[in-house]
A and B are shown apart, each in its own frame.
Chain A
Amino acid sequence: SQQGEEDPQALSIQEGENATMNCSYKTSINNLQWYRQNSGRGLVHLILIRSNEREKHSGRLRVTLDTSKKSSSLLITASRAADTASYFCATDAGGSYIPTFGRGTSLIVHP
């Protein structure tokens, strides 16, 4: 079963705009991660945020975590055409580190 669910399913923006994707999950978690997948490729890890953290930054990426709402958001600032990809959130819970992935958000950035 899916633990995390991304929203929106698809997002289309112009280069230079910001892109925001959301992830909601059902049960308490240890960590939440965001991954990117380019067409026909494997997933690439972007950022990990632990349950006791509220915000993390990495370059143009900003991730927030609200454990009271069981949700996270990924913000990509000043988007580029190369950011076009699918973005997945993954959560792990309990004693076993097995990340459970959502269905992803498909982001298209038009040059």
Chain B
Amino acid sequence: GAGVSQSPSNKVTEKGKDVELRCDPISGHTALYWYRQRLGQGLEFLIYFQGNSAPDKSGLPSDRFSAERTGESVSTLTIQRTQQEDSAVYLCASSWTNSPLHFGNGTRLTVT
């Protein structure tokens, strides 16, 4: 079956522009996560959606970052007024409740 799909796979943007990253989770998965991975580093938690509960936004690094999820489907991560330090791979994952995560291949964001 289809896995987690992320788009675009690569995004180059100019400093100060807004970007929107998309994640299509595995159908039926109730949980959805966004992580950030800087070059050669581990994964940094950003935000967690679980069903219809309020999302856990505790990992968002600044108010320039926001994310939405419609029901148990698509999620978008928006970064406003991008900065060079936002350059990273943004990984989305989905899962059943309290189950292992299934990751997409990520969006590589480069801010010039």
Q: Does A22 contact B (CB under 8 A)?
A: no
Which residues from chain B contact A42 at a C-beta distance below 8 Å? 4, 91, 93, 103-106
Which residues from chain B contact A44 at a C-beta distance below 8 Å? 103
Q: Does A25 contact B (CB under 8 A)?
A: no
B62 to chain A, nearest CB (A): 17
Q: Does A64 contact B (CB under 8 A)?
A: no
Which residues from chain B contact A101 at a C-beta distance below 8 Å? 35, 42-43, 45
- Whether A43 contacts B103 by the Cβ 8 Å rule is yes
Question: Please, which residue of chain A has its CB at the minimum distance from the CB of B31?
Answer: A97
User: A76-111 vs B: 1/0 string, CB under 8 Å?
Assistant: 000000000000100000001111111110000000
Bound-complex Cα distance A18 to B75 (A)? 40
- Pick from B41, B50, B100: contact of A48, CB below 8 A: B100
B20 to chain A, nearest CB (A): 19
Sample of 8 more A-B contacts, CB < 8 Å, known A43-B93, A44-B103: A40-B105, A41-B105, A43-B43, A48-B100, A97-B50, A97-B97, A98-B48, A104-B42
Residues of A within 8 A of B (CB): 2, 33, 35, 40-45, 48, 88, 96-104
A–B Cβ pairs within 8 angstroms, 27 of them: A2-B42, A33-B100, A35-B101, A40-B105, A41-B105, A41-B106, A42-B93, A42-B103, A42-B104, A42-B105, A43-B91, A43-B93, A45-B100, A45-B101, A48-B100, A96-B48, A97-B31, A97-B50, A97-B97, A97-B98, A98-B48, A98-B56, A99-B101, A100-B45, A101-B35, A101-B42, A104-B42
